[in-house]
Amino acid sequence: YHCYANDTQLIFSFPPSDTTVSARISTCLSDISLWMSAHQLKLNPCKTELLIIPGDSSPGQDLQITLHDSLLSPSATACNLGVTMDNKLSFFPHVANVACRFLLYNIRRIRQFLSIQAAQVLVQSLVISRLDYCSSLLFSHTTPLLRSLHWLPVAARIRFKTLMLAYKAKNGPAPSYLSDLITSRTAPRCLRSSSTARLVPPSLRMRGKYILRLFSVLAPRWWNELPLDVRTAESLIIFKR
């Protein structure tokens, strides 16, 4: 599970043949509700969502979870810390939700009253920041204008943010659920390659549309493609340059 302020997530991984998962989730929710009641808090059934993400070859399941007197049914989408996740991990609903923002239209209405620098600051702070938020989930053209504004293309921004997380996970500070996903390469003997600061790519026993998008897969691959002086940067500020 993960707790973020007033948002609590329960994450279960189970085979399609598991017939006890509904009871286990219901029991876990009941325990959380009791703990909250003992600490003057309340678990709101109306804001509790159930999202089932089946594997590539697994059929969808229709679980029924009981919370107090309410019955939770699987949803097609669920909002997770500002990201709209769907049960196929296509992220099409999230893209549609971000694209419908009207901030860029409002900036356009006042563009004639703004200098180039002011317009750039507004777009970067109000629009680009929203596009950047959790953009690494969307991984699957550079123009002279983008270069003059020091804006990276979307694919490059995703790689940049992923490598930033990899640096923090490798050198700190990063939460354990990120640092546990990568492993630094160590040599049994003192070899020239032992000082290259590389990461160990995971052995992929399974392949699928989800596996190749995992942080534990992308981060080592992109990290090992970096020049040695970047991988061995002494600080995050130097690494970002």
Average pLDDT of the segment spanning 43-55: 85
- Which tokens sit at 32? 């959380």
3-state secondary structure the chain: CEEECCEEECCCCCCCCCCCHHHHHHHHHHHHHHHHHHCCCCCCHHHCCCCCCCCCCCCCCCCCEEECCEEECCCCEEEECCEEEECCCCCHHHHHHHHCCCHHHHHHHCHHHCCHHHHHHHHHHHHHHHHHCCHHHHCCCCCHHHHHHCCCCHHHHHHHHHHHHHHHHHHCCCCHHHHCCCCECCCCCCCHHHHCCCECCCCCCCCCCCHHHCHHHHHHHHHHCCCHHHHCCCCHHHHHC
Given this model, what pLDDT does residue 100 score?
66
Given this model, what pLDDT does residue 36 score?
86
Partners of residue 65 on adjacent β-strands: 72
The amino acid occupying position 12 is F
Higher pLDDT, 209 or 82: 82
Given this model, what pLDDT does residue 145 score?
44
The amino acid occupying position 182 is I
Average pLDDT over all residues of the chain: 81
- Which tokens sit at 214? 């995992």
Evaluate if residue 131 carries a pLDDT over 80.
Answer: no
Tens of pLDDT, residue by residue over 159-198, are 888 999 999 999 888 888 888 999 888 766 655 555 678 8
- Residue 167's CB is within 10 A of a number of other CB atoms, namely 21
- pLDDT band at 141; cut points 50, 70, 90: very low
Higher pLDDT, 97 or 231: 231
Q: Per mean pLDDT, which range of 21-30, 67-76, 131-140 is the poorest?
A: 131-140
How would you classify the pairing of strands 70-72 and 83-86?
Answer: unpaired
Radius of gyration of the chain, Cα coordinates, nearest whole angstrom: 22
- pLDDT band at 207; cut points 50, 70, 90: low
- pLDDT band at 139; cut points 50, 70, 90: low
